[in-house]
Structure 1
Amino acid sequence: MLEPDALDRGLIHALQVDARAPFTLIADVLGSSPQTVVRRYRRLQAEGGLRVVALPDPRSSGTHQWFVRLTAATRTAHDIAAALARRPDTSWVRLTSGGTEIVAIIHTAPSGPDAHSLLLRDIPRTAGITGVSAHYLLHTYLGGPTAWRGRVDVLTPAQEARLRAHGPRVRAEEDAPYTLTGADRRLLAALREDARLGYAELAAAVGSTPATVTRRLAELRSRGALFFDVDIEPAVLGATVSALLWMQVAPSRLDEVATTLATHHELAVVAATTGPTNLVAHALCADAEALHRYLTRRVALDAIARIETAPVLRTYKAAATLRG
């Protein structure tokens, strides 16, 4: 297993601050050479599963997100999870709970004849599935554009400021969401494969010019129509135990609890959902003992009436990356 040093961690942090920052700028911020930073980036790709991708903001893409929990026989769970991971309308496909539960995020269109076909037709008909529960994602407190704090703990505020100065100014969240055009979606499809593609490569992929692609990408970023995800194997960063936490919280305390949990370094995702458990979190810990300490000392909040811990046995798909 790759053991990243301070330079590797600084590079990962820099990419989280600005995924498209030039290697020359990253090298200058980290006090290294561009050649060394590029070499480390390639090594993290090859040995640590590093991948930088761009994803559309759900408000701009007009999609809804659902956490779906599928109960399946152990003998069929692997095949079902692998099939779900290959679909373009899924992300975060994981096998949990001793290999009998599959958890995935499914992206659905708001309307149309096939808007919810995967939820209403395809999944229920799949052989081997014995139970389905769907939880509509209402609000994300941590995750998506917000990085897991367990990996962004290297750069100083001054170094982060230098990297942010390179990127476009993002408009206020309360602004009306921007609706993606067909050309925007083609550009995002290319960035979903590799968000660090050069402008000439992006232009060739979408049949445009580098100048046009540069303008469009800057506009999409400034409007908050997309965000970048730095995907890497958690174990590379020392997190060998992963678990999903399904919590039941009184609605009047939900925002308070979720906001508190979103500050915890152990959590990579905190989201409010519909269903009997209305708050879900993804914990990443060094080992089982660390997870136990976290559950008994930090998540033991009075407002949490019930918590279900589902260890993640295998990740088939991250934000957009298929895992072997």
Structure 2
Amino acid sequence: MTTAVVILNWNGRTLLEKFLPSVVSLSPEANVYVADNASTDGSVDVVKQKFPEVKIIQNRENGGYARGYNEALKDLEEEILILLNSDAEVTPGWLRPILEIFENENNVAAVQPKILDYNRKNYFEYAGAAGGYLDKYGYAFCRGRIFETLEEDHGQYNNVANIFWASGACFAIKNQVFKKAGGFDEDFFAHQEEIDLCWRLNNLGYRIKFAGNSSIYHVGGATLSNINPRKTYFNFRNNLYLLLKNLPSSQLIPILLMRMVLDGLAAFRFLAQGKFSHFFAIFRAHLSFYSHFSAIRNKRKNIAHKKEYFRINSIVSSYFIAGKRKFTDLKN
């Protein structure tokens, strides 16, 4: 299978210098690309000078993760596209298990490897861990990560498993399926656009897989830190976009109403902690959601709705009330 590893970059010169060598040396099965989102820090020159074997795609503007990748991938012809964050270190043999899944299972659209923490290499990393799921109210969680609790890796997820969504930190997808599904929704700009795409893939009848015998190490927060209120804004707004676009019609109104309540509780939790910028980020996220409600709702007509999409009823109550901190503690 012809394969492309595509790294989206925006003013990430230092990250490219640090992590691109591992990608180049440990990805012999793939063509390596850097897709640059109109950087101004000399990133492109560094790649040209230090990594002549890497192909460069230059986007005209910084359209975030969603538009950046849509632009970068539209003319690529490789059968498998692997979207890799610029702050990720790959490991020997990381590509082979991913490609074997695609070769052996025709109905698989996307695959994610094990994502471990670059700074604590025996722990899972927040952005994807060992594969993602949603609860009934649209909250994302992972095998190996629920909210802020990260599990230590003891090999407990070293299997091939069906998951609901694959992480954008390392997202492998069939080229023809990516284009058939319409790529990423550019209204998301950044954060959760991969979950939206995976939901659409699930609704189209494809499977998403986790490859437990493939690993990468991810810094996380290198572009936008977890403590940045802008990330809070995107996560809350885009999660509402996700639900409005993809929920079955029978569940849409009751779940959105419940989310109003739950998001309000989250906002006041930030307020009680003195995190005022995050409180206002949730407020702004809801204002943006309401102002774009009609435009996002209009996209529903292009979605084939799937009735049962969630693994558990509420990860919020499981985590904060029942005290379940590990994926293995949850009931199907």
* Normalised TM-score (structure 1): 0.25
Larger RCO, structures 1/2 (Cα 8 Å, 6+ apart): 1
Is the strand fraction higher in 1 or 2?
Answer: 1
Select the structure of larger CA radius of gyration: 1
